[in-house]
Amino acid sequence: MGGLLATVSLPDLATFLVAAVILVGGALGVVLGRNPVHAALSLVATLLAVAVLFVEEDAQFLAAVQIIVYTGAIVVLFLFVIMLLGVDRRERALVEQFRGQRLVALGLGALVLAEVLLLGTGHWTTGAHATTGALSRPLSNVAELGRAIFTTYLLPFEITSALLVVAVVAAVVLARRFDAPAQDERPPEGDPGDRPGDESEVAGR
C-alpha cells in the first residue's frame, strides 16, 4: 500500500478519498440518524458519492442514471412518504428492546466485513474477460451499454419493463382509498382509522 502513491495519480486518489469519506459518512448518517429526514438526506449524500465513484470507474452512464433515478426519484419518494405519514417525529423508543441485539448486530457486521474484505482483497477474481464487450472501446460507454442491453440482455430488459408496469399498478392500488359504502349505511360518527371507508370523510378525496 505504501508504494501506491507512486503508481496512482493524485487527482484520482483525492477523488477517491473524498468520495469514500462522504460515502461512509453518509452511510453512518443513515444508520445513526434519529430523525428519518436526516437519514434520508444522508442517503442522498451517499448516493452522490457512489455516483462519483461510478465516474471514476468508467461507468459514466450509470453515474448519470444513479443521480437521476436514485437520488432524484427514489429518495424524493422517501421524503414524500415521510412527509405524508408524518414520521418526522423521533423514534419513540430509543432503547433497544432486545438484549444483545446491538451486540449481535455489530458482531455479525464485523464478521461480514472481515469476510468480504478477505474475499475482495485477495486476488481471486476468476471471471472470464470481456465476454460481453469492452467497457468503452471501441464505442462509448453508453453505446456499449445500449448494445449489450438490447442484444444480449434483451429478455431481462423486457421483463424489467413489465416489472415497472406492475410496480406502477401496485402503487396505484396500494395507495387507493377504498370507496365508502352507500351513504345511508354508514353511522353518523365514524372512527377514523377503523375502516378504510371512513378515511374519505376525514381526509377528503
Partner 1 sequence: MLHFAYLIPLLPLAGFALLCVAGRRIGNPVAGWIATLAVAAAFAMSVVVLVSLFAHAPDGRLFTQHWFTWFRVDRLTVDVGLRIDPLSVTMALFVTGVSALIHLYSIGYMEHDEDFAKFFCYLNLFVFSMLMLVLSSNLLVTFFGWEGVGVCSYLLIAFWFRRPSAASAGKKAMIYNRIGDAGFLVALFLIFERTGSLDYQTVFARLGRISPTDLVAIALLLFLGAAGKSAQIPLFPWLADAMEGPTPVSALIHAATMVTAGVYLMCRINPILHAAPDAAHVVAWVGVVTALVAATIGCAQTDIKKVLAYSTVSQLGYMFLAAGTGAYVAAIFLMLAHAFYKALLFLSAGSVIHAMDGEQDLKKMGALRAFMPVTAVTFFVGWLSIAGVPPFSGFWAKSDVLENAWAVSPALWAIGAVTAVLTAYYMGREFFLVFMGDPRWQGARPGGDAPRDPGWVMGVPLVVLAACSFLGLFIDLPFHPTWTFLERWLQPVVGASAAVHHYGLAELWGFGLADVAFAALGIAMAAAVWRAAVNRPRLEPRFLFMAWFIDWSYDRFVARPGALVSSFASSVVEARVIDGAVEGTARLVRRGGERLRRVQTGYVRTYAAVIVGGIVILVAYLVTRAGS
Partner 2 sequence: MTIDGSWYLALAAVVFTIGAVGVLVRRNVLVMFMCIELMLNAANLTFVTFSRQLNDIGGQVAVFFVLVVAAAEVVVGLGIIVAIYRRRVGATADDPHELRG
Binding site for partner 1 (CB under 8 A): 98, 101, 104-105, 108-109, 111-112, 115-116, 118-119, 122, 124
Minimum distance, C-beta of residue 141 to partner 1, in the bound complex (Å):
31
Q: Any contact of residue 182 with partner 2 (CB under 8 A)?
A: no
What is the distance between the terminal CA atoms of the chain, rounded to a whole angstrom? 62
The DSSP secondary structure of 103-154, one letter per residue, reads: HHHHHHHHHHHHHHHHHHHSS---PPSSSS--SSSSS-HHHHHHHHHHHTTH
Minimum distance, C-beta of residue 47 to partner 2, in the bound complex (Å):
7
Minimum distance, C-beta of residue 106 to partner 1, in the bound complex (Å):
11
Of residues 8 through 67, those in contact with partner 2 by CB under 8 A are 8-9, 12-13, 16, 20, 23-24, 27-28, 30-31, 33, 36, 39-40, 43, 46-47, 50, 53-54, 56-59, 61-62, 65-66
Q: Which residues contact 141 (CB under 8 A, 6 or more apart)?
A: 58, 59, 60, 61, 135
Nearer to partner 1 by Cβ, of 87 and 119: the residue is: 119
The set of cell numbers assigned to 77 is 419518494
The DSSP secondary structure of 153-188, one letter per residue, reads: THHHHHHHHHHHHHHHHHHHHHHPPPPP--GGGS-S
**Looking at 2, 3, 10, 97, which residue binds partner 2 (CB under 8 A)?**
97
Q: How many CB atoms lie within 10 A of CB 2?
A: 5
Minimum distance, C-beta of residue 95 to partner 1, in the bound complex (Å):
14
In the numeric block, the cell 349505511 is attached to 185
Of residues 107 through 146, those in contact with partner 2 by CB under 8 A are 108-110, 112-113, 116-117, 120-121, 123, 125, 127-135, 141, 144-145
